[in-house]
A and B are shown apart, each in its own frame.
Chain A
């Protein structure tokens, strides 16, 4: 049987028994075949030991990934997980501070909501401040920091950074969304950033 045809028949999740049945061969032969496909990169396995071993088989090679923004957002957000709409990978040093700035840059509601949880993980405020200023995102970072503090435990931002970097201009986190809730008005005015959230969003996402 040709390589491609084999993969097409097996594509999806399989156990050794279902793979053997699909291909009409003995279990040992199926095991040998899956082992070969695994070496070539078409198969990854999960389970084993007490759990049933599952084989994930795809038509194209399953390449090793470098973690990116979505991996960090999902790692630190216990309330909801994002389903990435593109595969973000970073080759080199990638920190929580970078992920926070990248999340703001997406202008995606869910990514920005998820990034509120990152404030508790910030260790290098200096890097975040300079990165934010360079990418013209510091006002947004400050506003989100204040929102994060309303709903969850976060590390405290050093006072020397606690000020907007751009003055006299109103920035929208996600244009044209703007809150009408009074609770956020103070934060909006302090940072000059229009907040897209409602109370209910924060309860669901960040608490």
Chain B
């Protein structure tokens, strides 16, 4: 497991080993640690705008002794067929899941870029800029990645964030759906159904999801 301090140290070391400035977006457990929602995570999930930036980051990881590993045990087979599946690197207990441009079929949307929660700059030899997405985006992406413990993480976020905006999350899912992500509404609907066993989520969000799904089919 990776603790918050491990994570900060690791990013600092990586910033000393990259060959130019790199920016990326943190989601999943990594982002949750930056928020203070949890103390440790199994993996570090990062999304890069371009494959080139991911490549520079990977070069630094390889310098630090990380080796590529298969995503086969971590994601469901359906997702692994996707071209935008992550490249995964491992060293001991520490694992990086690195996406470029897309998280499976989910794009880096204008809202993700604008509505950030935090920006952490790690100034080493070059600057490693890590942008932390909003909780609504994190929940949406957790619904998409469908890994073990993702639902528990979402429950942890919802229990601690009383200002969680479901409308924002659903609107973002609809935007993603309209831009080619055919899974996002199905994944989010499944997650909301599961969550409704534990937390109150209004029916209107499900209706909006069904309407958006039908709209696409009709077209």
Contacts A59-B160, A92-B124: A87 and B118 contacting too (C-beta < 8 A)?
A: yes
Residue-wise, chain A 64-100 has the 8 Å CB interface mask toward B (1 for contact) of 0010100000000000000000111111111000000
Contacting pair A90 B123 (CB below 8 A) = yes
Contacting pair A88 B123 (CB below 8 A) = no
| CB of A4 closer than 8 Å to a CB of B | yes
Contacts of A86 in B (CB 8 A): 116-119
Other CB < 8 Å A-B pairs besides A68-B121, A86-B116, A91-B12, 17 of them?
Answer: A4-B160, A59-B159, A59-B161, A59-B162, A60-B35, A60-B37, A60-B160, A61-B39, A63-B36, A68-B119, A86-B119, A87-B117, A87-B119, A88-B118, A91-B11, A92-B12, A92-B123
Contacts of A61 in B (CB 8 A): 36, 39
Contacts of B124 in A (CB 8 A): 92
Contacts of B8 in A (CB 8 A): 91
Residues of chain A whose beta carbon lies under 8 Å from any beta carbon of chain B: 4, 41, 59-63, 66, 68, 86-94
User: Pick the contact of B120 from A60, A62, A91 — CB < 8 Å?
Assistant: A91
Residue-wise, chain B 120-132 has the 8 Å CB interface mask toward A (1 for contact) of 1111100000001
Binding site of B, secondary structure by majority: helix, strand, loop or mixed? mixed
Contacting pair B12 A89 (CB below 8 A) = no
| CB of B15 closer than 8 Å to a CB of A | yes
Q: B1-24: which residues lie under 8 A (CB-CB) from chain A?
A: 4, 8, 11-12, 15
Q: How many residues belonging to B are interface residues under a CB distance threshold of 8 Å? A: 24
Contacts of B116 in A (CB 8 A): 86
Smallest Cβ distance from B104 to chain A, in angstroms? Answer: 26
Residues of chain B whose beta carbon lies under 8 Å from any beta carbon of chain A: 4, 8, 11-12, 15, 34-37, 39, 116-124, 132, 159-162
Contacting pair B121 A4 (CB below 8 A) = no
User: In the complex, which of the residues A60, A66, A88 has the most CB atoms of chain B within 10 Å of its own CB atom?
Assistant: A60
* Cα A90 to Cα B128 with chains together (Å): 10
- Which residue of A has the minimal Cβ distance to B120? A89
* Cα A162 to Cα B8 with chains together (Å): 39
- Which residue of B has the minimal Cβ distance to A59? B160
**Top 6 A-B residue pairs of the complex, sorted by shortest distance between their CB atoms:** A92-B123, A61-B36, A87-B118, A59-B160, A60-B36, A90-B121
Contacts of A66 in B (CB 8 A): 120
Contacting pair A63 B4 (CB below 8 A) = yes
Contacts of B12 in A (CB 8 A): 91-92
Contacts A86-B116, A88-B118: A93 and B36 contacting too (C-beta < 8 A)?
A: no
